[in-house]
Structure 1
Amino acid sequence: MKAFLRNFMIDYAATGARIKRLRLKNHLTQEQLSEMIGLSPKHISNIETSNAHPSIETLVALSNVLHTSMDFLLMNDIKQNQEELFLKELQDLLSDCTPDEKTELLEITRSIKSILRKNRSKK
């Protein structure tokens, strides 16, 4: 058990970045979010910039308000969920795109994939 805990390190910078991204996705200011969970806007800012580490209680409150799970907020070391997170983030990025934008992004992605694979095969 100690070995597991030693290997499980929370990346507070990544957690803060995810909190900020979700806050912005939900069209919330730091002030609005802080009012919703009972913290100061400065503390929210410090969490987002990893100058403060959120407590379990704060993470629970944030996950509830931001409509996400705690594992998503803390997820860097949980490898089995990486594909799921990638797909969720991709879906979030595409959610406000027009059909034409989605088509263009798909074509660009196919081109980039082809270029990446050609470059890998040359190495």
Structure 2
Amino acid sequence: MAKRPVPKYDFKAFGAAIKAARTDRKESRKKVCDEMFISPRYLANIENNGQHPSLQIFFELMLRYNISVDQFLSDKPAEKNTQRRQLDALLDGISDMGIRIVTATAKEIAEVEKEDE
């Protein structure tokens, strides 16, 4: 029986998002690889060449960097894109005073954007 022809998914965008998130956090490839028990070459190939990660590594990287799988695997827009997930993660570590400041800033941005319409 012949194999069903299936186009291979291109993981380059996922790799680029992982690399951007890792560098934004100022994490070295070595640090990440040591913590995840993977080789630096494997991570470099995922980040730079779009190598297909194992499902486990894919999942761990998405959780580690709050990456939205929807933007890579779904045709419909993500409920929360990667930037919103990363912002949520940052907000989780902010004090109540910090949340008040961020909320006031967000309200001001929303008002300014309404004026520009």
| Shorter-chain TM-score range | 0.5 to 0.7
Shift of 1:11: 6.6
User: Given that residues 46 and 52 in structure 1 are in contact (C-alpha distance below 8 angstroms), is that contact kept between their aligned partners in structure 2?
Assistant: yes
1:78 paired with 2:77, answer no
When the two structures are aligned, how many residues end up with a matched partner? 108
Alignment-derived partner of residue 67 in structure 1: 63
Pairing partner for 2:85 from 84, 88, 97: 88
Q: For 1:74 and 1:30, locate their aligned partners in 2 and report how far apart those are by CA, in whole Å.
A: 25
Letter in 2 for 1:91: D
Q: For 1:43 and 1:91, locate their aligned partners in 2 and report how far apart those are by CA, in whole Å.
A: 29
Shift of 1:31: 1.4
Identity, % of aligned positions: 16
Alignment-derived partner of residue 97 in structure 1: 94
Q: What is the TM-score of this pair, normalised by structure 2? A: 0.61
SS at the partner of 1:83? coil
Alignment-derived partner of residue 30 in structure 1: 29
Question: Please, what is the CA RMSD of the aligned residues?
Answer: 3.7
Q: For 1:111 and 1:43, locate their aligned partners in 2 and report how far apart those are by CA, in whole Å.
A: 44
- Consecutive unaligned residues of structure 1, counting only runs of 5 or more, are none
Deviates more, 1:99-108 or 1:77-86: 77-86
Alignment-derived partner of residue 12 in structure 1: 12
Q: What is the TM-score of this pair, normalised by structure 1? A: 0.59
Shift of 1:60: 3.3
Letter in 1 for 2:68: F
Letter in 1 for 2:96: P
User: Given that residues 22 and 66 in structure 1 are in contact (C-alpha distance below 8 angstroms), is that contact kept between their aligned partners in structure 2?
Assistant: no
